Structure 1
Amino acid sequence: MAALLEIRNLKKVYNDGTTALQGVDFKVDRGEFVVVIGSSGAGKSTLLRCINRLVQPSEGSVMFNNMDATKASHSQVRKLRREVGMIFQGFNLIERVSVLTNVLHGRLGYMNQLMGTLGMFSKHDIEEAKKILHRLGLHQQIYKRADELSGGQQQRVGIARALSQQPQLILADEPIASLDPVTSETIMNHLHTICQEDGITCVVNLHQVEVAKKYATRIIGIHKGTVAFDGKPDELSDEVIQHIYQK
């Protein structure tokens, strides 16, 4: 069976000359929970953003479900972003609208533009969004404005929005970077459990090695835009960790 995601010789040089990725190669099979670790500026965020075309790579290919995302047409990118949910470090919610509406925005890729603009969501979508929020322990926050929530609650809304897309793949870019350890554990537990239960493949960027070891089926270490490690959590030695995080 073909891998769900295959990165081939991925390179990214920004207009200011910054080289973020220098030939990254790896595959992700369906059902894997992959954690990408590395220091700030190693290229982790650029990597995730190249996968869903928020960033256009300079070279290489991103094969998702046998489609090359780097050569995707406008309609293919729309389809790609439907099937790839994204969870952001800064939550990326619309603060002035309700939790429920934020989650329903995950359905916009499936709607025509007018219905989406008018917020005319189907009864089925609304019921599904409520179920997801219930699963994430947010049933009492459904009608609150997003900016009334704590950081941990906002990140759970971010997860719920990604889940409402019914994605095959979830990308999470430093989802616990701004959260305290207890809240971070709650977020990672939710994300890991739901992905396992629903058979969703997940690629998560994290700083914290111990958190990566706890949840990952596989860890990829990025150092200065290249893959410095790719293996099981128990294969990650102190020497390799030192190399990944050295400046």
Structure 2
Amino acid sequence: MASSILEIRNLRKVYTDGTSALQGIDLQVQQGEFIAVIGPSGAGKSTLLRCINRLVQPSEGTVMFNGMDTTKASGGQIRKLRREVGMIFQSFNLIERVTVLRNVLHGRLGYMSSFSGALGLFSKRDIEEAMHILHRLGLHDQMYKRADELSGGQQQRVGIARALSQQPLLILADEPIASLDPVTSESIMKHLHTVCREDGITCLVNLHQVDVAKKFATRIIGIHKGSVVFDGPPEQLTDEAAERVYRK
């Protein structure tokens, strides 16, 4: 039986303007799961992911990741947390003026001293591994191009490669296909799903597209107004269940 890598208990987030984004989320995630988090805009999906890696500070509750209560983490613990949790963004978050290879290597910064990182003193092993990852994602011909020379789909593959270079235990993907066309979206989800399965990486991916969630996820979590209203395998997400997630 797979072991639990992430356990969330009574997670709440209220922003300073009074917006209640999360209202007591309880989740347990097993190692190796590929989970799609669905829900309408403003449901709290992005806040949930960002509370896990402490890009957002929760208002209440606990997030246990790999034995660490991330809500109480500080300093070196947060640095360790962000090494072990890769993040993929809707807007790619690449440094456009530098090469694809250099962008991927930035995933190693959490393992380096500030001095070495500032000077870009990456080891030969890190460079070789970054090249290998780019090869896996079909980007070996693009590695010396500037990031802004790539298409949106290629840039998102670079984002996946950067996350993989961290050698993470968990990947959080926040609407990774929201700005892409359907064909490119399918390709990105195939790449993400394949590398996570092959490397045994747990993944939580926020999606708007229910059909995509059903196709790739081993489990779907539906969030409505900050609460979990569905949690189960794709085949149990009936039209009636989806209506509960997306009801006005």
User: TM > 0.5 between the two?
Assistant: yes
* DSSP 3-state at the match of 2:140: coil
Q: Distance in 1 between matches of 2:125 and 2:89?
A: 26
User: Which sections of structure 1, spanning at least 5 residues, go unmatched?
Assistant: none
Q: 1:26 aligns to what?
A: 27
Deviations 1:55-111 (A, max 9, x none): 000000100001100001210000000000000000000000000000000000000
Q: Distance in 2 between matches of 1:96 and 1:108?
A: 18
Q: 1:233 aligns to what?
A: 234
User: Which sections of structure 2, spanning at least 5 residues, go unmatched?
Assistant: none
Q: Distance in 1 between matches of 2:179 and 2:245?
A: 22
Does the alignment pair 1:99 with 2:79?
no
CA shift for structure 1 position 10:
0.3
* DSSP 3-state at the match of 1:191: helix
Q: 1:202 aligns to what?
A: 203
Does the alignment pair 1:173 with 2:183?
no
Q: 1:67 aligns to what?
A: 68
Q: Distance in 2 between matches of 1:66 and 1:34?
A: 20
Q: Distance in 2 between matches of 1:174 and 1:2?
A: 26
Q: Distance in 2 between matches of 1:235 and 1:246?
A: 18
Q: 2:17 aligns to what?
A: 16
CA contact (8 A) 2:99 2:146 kept: yes
Q: 1:184 aligns to what?
A: 185
TM-score when normalising by structure 1: 0.99
Q: Distance in 2 between matches of 1:56 and 1:121?
A: 31
Q: 1:111 aligns to what?
A: 112
Q: Which amino acid aligns with 1:131?
A: H
CA shift for structure 1 position 239:
1.0
Q: Distance in 2 between matches of 1:156 and 1:203?
A: 17
Q: Distance in 1 between matches of 2:96 and 2:16?
A: 32
Q: Which amino acid aligns with 2:90?
A: Q
Q: Distance in 1 between matches of 2:107 and 2:247?
A: 38
* DSSP 3-state at the match of 2:110: helix
Deviations 1:96-153 (A, max 9, x none): 0000000000000000000000001001000000000010000110000000000000
Q: Which amino acid aligns with 1:46?
A: T
CA shift for structure 1 position 2:
4.5
* DSSP 3-state at the match of 1:56: coil
Deviations 1:140-172 (A, max 9, x none): 100000000000000000000000000000000
Deviations 1:39-70 (A, max 9, x none): 00000000000000000000001000011000
CA shift for structure 1 position 243:
1.4
Q: Which amino acid aligns with 1:238?
A: D
Q: 1:55 aligns to what?
A: 56
Task: Report the aligned-residue RMSD.
Answer: 0.7
Q: Which amino acid aligns with 1:226?
A: S
How many residue pairs end up in the alignment?
247
Q: Distance in 2 between matches of 1:2 and 1:78?
A: 24
Q: Which amino acid aligns with 1:118?
A: L
Q: 2:142 aligns to what?
A: 141
Structure 1 ranges of 4+ moved more than 2 A = none
TM-score when normalising by structure 2: 0.99
Deviations 1:16-44 (A, max 9, x none): 10110000001100000011000000000
Q: Distance in 1 between matches of 2:133 and 2:222?
A: 32
Q: Distance in 1 between matches of 2:43 and 2:116?
A: 40
